[in-house]
Chain A
C-alpha cells in the first residue's frame, strides 16, 4: 500500500508492507540516519523520530498510523556542513562515543528545547531517560544540553 506523509519537510509516497513499522519502512527507503532495531520494543530509543513533533521510537510505530503526518529524522536538523547548536554542542562536550544512540537522543533534546526553552537538569535527565546510551554514562550529554540552553539564553 502507498503511504503518504511528510518526511523532513518533503512529501513522500512510500510503498509499505502490511504490518511494517515506520522504522522498517524508512530503512528500506535508505534512510540510514535512523539507527537501531534490535530491541523492536522501543526500549533503547535509538530509532526515535519526531512524529508531528512528538519523539517516538519508530520501531514500535506501524506505518498505517503515519499517513498524513509529519515525520522528522535527524536529517531534518543540521547537516554535516551546518550542524545546529545542539549537534555542535554534543561534539564539543564529548557527549558522543560510538554515536549509535545519538541521532535518537538529539531528536529528543531538540524536542525538549523547542517545547521548554528553560529546562531544569531534572527535565534534561527525564528526556534522556527514554534512551539507553551504554558508552557515555550520560553526564557529558546533560552538560552538552545545558551548554546549548546557556548559549540560546545569551543569544549566541
Chain B
C-alpha cells in the first residue's frame, strides 16, 4: 500500500518512505550480536587508563613514574614529557573548527578536577590501576575559579599559554563573545505597552550518560595501518584530528565506528582516541580504553551550565516588538563547542518570534575550573528555550491573555524569515533562509485539544495535597548546518539485483542506517529489503561530517537520494541498450525495469548479472554528495499536565503531549522514538538531573545512585503526534527530528507549575526542595 502526502498541487506517492520497515540493526541488537566497540577479542591487547587531576587548577611541577614503571606488565606511560605538544580542539566539528585550539594531548597544567595528567597502558586493568597509584605528581596549586562571572574579571587566568589560538579574550577567560543588535532594544522596551522586566534563568550541568561510555580499541592491521575502532559520532573528524596531533599520515589511519551505545553529543569529541592511538603506535600492540561511569561524568563532557537574562516588550495588541537576551555559558576548563553552543542558544530560538523589530543577543562562553561542557542534544537551544518560553508565558500573564494566543500571534510562519538566520551562524555569521514548510499553528491547535487545555488551565484542580496545572511551550531547531555539513553516498548494483549503500553517516542508535536505506529504496524503486548498508568507516565509505546538528536525515538523506537518482538513471540507460528501447519509456518498479508503453520487463538481477559478465560489461554504480544552503527547521508544540504536591514540593508529570512538524516522516516508529527519548531526557533535565560540585569543583554525585535519571516508573503518559509537511529541500520532504523535542519539557513544566501554584521556577532542576521553598515564600 502506498501513502499519499498532499502538498498544494504536488501529490507524493511513497512505497517505502513512511513505512515502519524493520530497523536495519534491530534483530542483531535484540539477539546480542557482537556489534559494539568492545565486542572483539584481540591477543596481547593492552588496557589503558588516565590519571586525573585532584586539583581544580594546578601546574604540574613533575611527574615521577619510576615506581609505576617497575610494576611487571606496565608497558607505556604517556604524559607531557613524551607526547607531541600540538594545540587542537577536541570538538568533532567541520574544519576549520569554530572551537578554540586550547587543548594539548597532555599539558603541564590541569584545569579542573578530572583533567588528564598522564595515561598508563599495561597488560591488565588491575596492573594499570596499581601503576596509577604509584605515580607521584608534584603539583603547584593555583587559585581557581568556578563562577563564570568571577572568571570574567580575569583575576585568575585559566589559559595563559602562548601557543593556543581562537580564544576571544584570554585575559578575561572569555572563549567567545557575541553581540547582535537588530533595531533599537532600549527604545523598543521604553515604548512597549507591555513588558517583561529582566528575569534571570539558570540551567545546571547535566551529563549525557550514554549507557555505553566512551570506549576505543586501536591496533595495527596487516599493512601497518592504524585501526581506530571507536564509539564516536564523528569518525571523519576523529581521523583528521588524530593525524594532526599525532603527526601520523592520515592515509594510514582508518576509523571504524561499530554500533554505538548512545551519544547525545558526548561523542562529538575526540576524547580518548588520541591516547589509545599513540600507545598503539609506540608499542605496536592493540590498546583498549573504556571510561568508567565516574570518568564519563567528570572527564567527558556536559551540557553547559548557563545564566540567561531576558527582557521582552510587546505592543498593545500583544505583538512582540523587542527581545533582549543575554547568555553566559560556563564552558569549564576547555573551550570545546563554546562558540557554537553560545550562538545556537540565540540562533535556534530567536527566529521563532520573528515579528520583533528590536532584538539584541549578547553572549559569552567562559572558562572556569569546572569539568568541561560540550555538545549535548539541543545544543544551546535547550538553554535558550527554557528562558525564552518561560518569559513568553510571563508576558502572556502580564498582558492577560492565554499563553497559547500570545504564541499564535507571534510565531514565525511559512514564507517568512528572520534577520537572526543571517546574523547568527556557527560561531560566525549565518545564512539567510526563508521557512518553506511549517505546520506550527496546526501543531499548537492539535496539542491544545489533546491536553484538554480549557479543562485544566487556570482551574487549579485540587486532589488532596495535589494541585493540577497545565503549561506549554513551542520550539524549532534546524536540519544540519547550512553550507557546512556535507555528506557523500555511494551505491552499487550487485548481480542479484540488490544494492549496496555506502555512507559515512554515523548511526548512533538513531536509526539512520534504516532511514537512509528507505530513502534509497524509494528513489530507485526497489524494496527496502534489497539494500545493504555499510556506514562509518573512513577507508570504505564516503565522507560525512557525522551525527550531530540534526543533520543525517536531511543532509546524508539528500546525498543518498541523489546517488539513488543517479544509479537509477544508469540502470535505465543500461537496460535501454539491452532491450533497445528509449530510456524515457523506462522506469524501475519492484525490482524490474519496466517499459511503460509495452509493459515489457527486465529484472534488476538480469541487469546486474549481464553487466558483470555478458553485455557492455561495467560496474553499475553511482555516487553523490549533498550540502545545503538551508537548514529547514522542524517545529513542535509541547503541552504538559502536572500535579504539584503542596506538602512535599514534588512535581509529578501526568501527561505530556508533543505535536511535531518534522516534514515528511520517513519512519514513524523511529521518529516517535526520537521524540519520546528527547522528551524523557528533557524531563530529567527539568526535574531531577544535576551534577553537583563541591566548593573546589569536585563532582559529588558521579554515579547512577546519586545522579537521578528518570526510570520507567517516573514517566508520564506521553503522546507524540506528527503533522506532516513537505519541505521542498529535504529528501522526500523530510526535515529533522533528533533534537527539537528536548527543548520543551523544562519551560512547559515551569509554566505548568506557575499555572498550578503561581510560583515562578527559574532555576533548573525543579527539585522538591526548590519548589517547596518557593511555595513557602509565597505562603502557599
Check if A and B associate.
Answer: yes
Residues of A with Cβ closer than 8 Å to B? 30, 32-41, 43-44, 46, 73-75, 77-80, 83, 87-88, 90-103, 106, 124-126, 128-129, 131-142
The answer for the CA separation of A134 and B376 in the assembled complex, in Å, is 13
Is the C-beta of B645 less than 8 angstroms from some C-beta in chain A? Answer: no
- Chain B residue nearest in CB terms to A96: B29
A135–B673 touching, CB < 8 Å: yes
Question: Knowing A73-B32, A96-B26, A97-B673 touch, does A35 contact B704 (C-beta < 8 A)?
Answer: no
B669–A142 touching, CB < 8 Å: no
The answer for the CA separation of A113 and B670 in the assembled complex, in Å, is 25
Which of B363-371, B408-416, B507-515, B623-631 is near enough to bind chain A?
B507-515
- Chain B residue nearest in CB terms to A17: B126
Closest 3 CB pairs of A and B: A98-B509, A33-B32, A100-B261
Which of B128-136, B175-183, B221-229, B707-715 is near enough to bind chain A?
B707-715
B676–A129 touching, CB < 8 Å: no
Chain A residues with CB under 8 Å of B210's CB are 98, 100, 134
Out of B38, B670, B713, name the residue touching A125 (CB < 8 Å). Answer: B713
Is the C-beta of B34 less than 8 angstroms from some C-beta in chain A? Answer: yes
A-contact 0/1 string along B234-275, CB 8 Å cutoff? 000000000000000000000000011110100000000000
A38–B711 touching, CB < 8 Å: no
Q: How near does chain A come to B669, taking the closest CB pair, in angstroms? A: 3
Within 8 A of A (CB), among B25-66: 25-36, 38-41
Query: How many residues of B are counted as interface, with CB atoms below 8 angstroms from the partner's CB atoms?
Result: 58
Most buried by B among A87, A126, A138: A138
Chain B residues with CB under 8 Å of A99's CB are 25-26, 29-30, 35, 259, 261, 509
A-contact 0/1 string along B496-540, CB 8 Å cutoff? 000000000000111100000000000000000000000000000
A32–B39 touching, CB < 8 Å: yes
B264–A74 touching, CB < 8 Å: no
B293–A39 touching, CB < 8 Å: yes
The answer for the CA separation of A80 and B35 in the assembled complex, in Å, is 13
B713–A94 touching, CB < 8 Å: no
Within 8 A of A (CB), among B705-741: 705, 709, 711-713, 715, 718
Chain B residues with CB under 8 Å of A129's CB are 711-713
The answer for the CA separation of A75 and B31 in the assembled complex, in Å, is 7
Chain A residues with CB under 8 Å of B703's CB are 39, 41, 43
Within 8 A of A (CB), among B126-160: none
Interface of B: prevailing SS = loop
Q: How near does chain B come to A17, taking the closest CB pair, in angstroms? A: 9
Out of A79, A98, A126, name the residue touching B31 (CB < 8 Å). Answer: A79
Known contacts A83-B30, A94-B20, A137-B679, then 9 further A-B pairs from the complex at CB < 8 Å, ordered by chain A residue = A32-B32, A40-B292, A90-B26, A92-B20, A97-B673, A100-B259, A106-B30, A132-B711, A136-B673
The answer for the CA separation of A125 and B40 in the assembled complex, in Å, is 33
Is the C-beta of B107 less than 8 angstroms from some C-beta in chain A? Answer: no
Q: How near does chain A come to B711, taking the closest CB pair, in angstroms? A: 4
Chain A residues with CB under 8 Å of B509's CB are 97-100, 135
B669–A140 touching, CB < 8 Å: yes
Q: How near does chain A come to B126, taking the closest CB pair, in angstroms? A: 9
Chain B residues with CB under 8 Å of A33's CB are 31-34
Q: How near does chain B come to A26, taking the closest CB pair, in angstroms? A: 11
5 pairs of residues in contact across A and B, judged by CB atoms under 8 Å = A35-B261, A38-B296, A99-B25, A101-B261, A128-B712
Is the C-beta of B677 less than 8 angstroms from some C-beta in chain A? Answer: yes
Within 8 A of A (CB), among B269-310: 290-293, 296
The answer for the CA separation of A115 and B441 in the assembled complex, in Å, is 48
A94–B712 touching, CB < 8 Å: no
The answer for the CA separation of A78 and B33 in the assembled complex, in Å, is 12
A139–B715 touching, CB < 8 Å: yes
Is the C-beta of B584 less than 8 angstroms from some C-beta in chain A? Answer: no
The answer for the CA separation of A138 and B710 in the assembled complex, in Å, is 10
The answer for the CA separation of A10 and B380 in the assembled complex, in Å, is 52
Chain B residues with CB under 8 Å of A100's CB are 36, 210-212, 259, 261-262, 509
Out of B32, B259, B293, B712, name the residue touching A38 (CB < 8 Å). Answer: B293
Out of A73, A75, A93, A106, name the residue touching B669 (CB < 8 Å). Answer: A93
Q: How near does chain A come to B122, taking the closest CB pair, in angstroms? A: 16
The answer for the CA separation of A6 and B30 in the assembled complex, in Å, is 22
**Number of A-B residue pairs at CB separation under 8 A:** 180
Q: How near does chain A come to B297, taking the closest CB pair, in angstroms? A: 11
Is the C-beta of B320 less than 8 angstroms from some C-beta in chain A? Answer: no
Chain B residues with CB under 8 Å of A131's CB are 712
B704–A132 touching, CB < 8 Å: yes
Question: Knowing A39-B293, A44-B211 touch, does A96 contact B38 (C-beta < 8 A)?
Answer: no
Out of A39, A75, A91, A136, name the residue touching B26 (CB < 8 Å). Answer: A91
Is the C-beta of B562 less than 8 angstroms from some C-beta in chain A? Answer: no
Q: How near does chain B come to A140, taking the closest CB pair, in angstroms? A: 6
The answer for the CA separation of A97 and B30 in the assembled complex, in Å, is 11
Most buried by A among B264, B293, B510: B293
Is the C-beta of B209 less than 8 angstroms from some C-beta in chain A? Answer: yes
A137–B677 touching, CB < 8 Å: yes
Chain B residues with CB under 8 Å of A35's CB are 32, 36, 212, 261
The answer for the CA separation of A73 and B670 in the assembled complex, in Å, is 27
Is the C-beta of B681 less than 8 angstroms from some C-beta in chain A? Answer: yes
The answer for the CA separation of A74 and B264 in the assembled complex, in Å, is 26
Chain A residues with CB under 8 Å of B23's CB are 91, 94, 96
Is the C-beta of B418 less than 8 angstroms from some C-beta in chain A? Answer: no
A87–B27 touching, CB < 8 Å: yes
The answer for the CA separation of A96 and B673 in the assembled complex, in Å, is 8
Out of A34, A94, A132, name the residue touching B670 (CB < 8 Å). Answer: A94
Chain A residues with CB under 8 Å of B33's CB are 33, 80
- Chain B residue nearest in CB terms to A107: B32
Question: Knowing A74-B31, A139-B718 touch, does A94 contact B705 (C-beta < 8 A)?
Answer: no
Question: Knowing A96-B29, A100-B261, A134-B211 touch, does A32 contact B673 (C-beta < 8 A)?
Answer: no
The answer for the CA separation of A37 and B704 in the assembled complex, in Å, is 13
B704–A43 touching, CB < 8 Å: yes
The answer for the CA separation of A88 and B261 in the assembled complex, in Å, is 20
B292–A44 touching, CB < 8 Å: no
Out of B27, B40, B211, B705, name the residue touching A133 (CB < 8 Å). Answer: B211
Question: Knowing A43-B703, A92-B20 touch, does A137 contact B680 (C-beta < 8 A)?
Answer: yes
Is the C-beta of B763 less than 8 angstroms from some C-beta in chain A? Answer: no
- Chain A residue nearest in CB terms to B682: A137
A102–B30 touching, CB < 8 Å: yes
The answer for the CA separation of A101 and B35 in the assembled complex, in Å, is 13
The answer for the CA separation of A131 and B711 in the assembled complex, in Å, is 8
Q: How near does chain A come to B257, taking the closest CB pair, in angstroms? A: 12
The answer for the CA separation of A98 and B509 in the assembled complex, in Å, is 3
Chain B residues with CB under 8 Å of A36's CB are 211
Chain A residues with CB under 8 Å of B709's CB are 132, 134
Most buried by A among B30, B259, B511: B30
Chain A residues with CB under 8 Å of B216's CB are none
B718–A137 touching, CB < 8 Å: yes
Chain B residues with CB under 8 Å of A137's CB are 673, 676-681, 715, 718
B676–A139 touching, CB < 8 Å: yes
Q: How near does chain B come to A151, taking the closest CB pair, in angstroms? A: 16
The answer for the CA separation of A100 and B36 in the assembled complex, in Å, is 8
B22–A91 touching, CB < 8 Å: yes
A97–B510 touching, CB < 8 Å: yes
The answer for the CA separation of A10 and B755 in the assembled complex, in Å, is 60
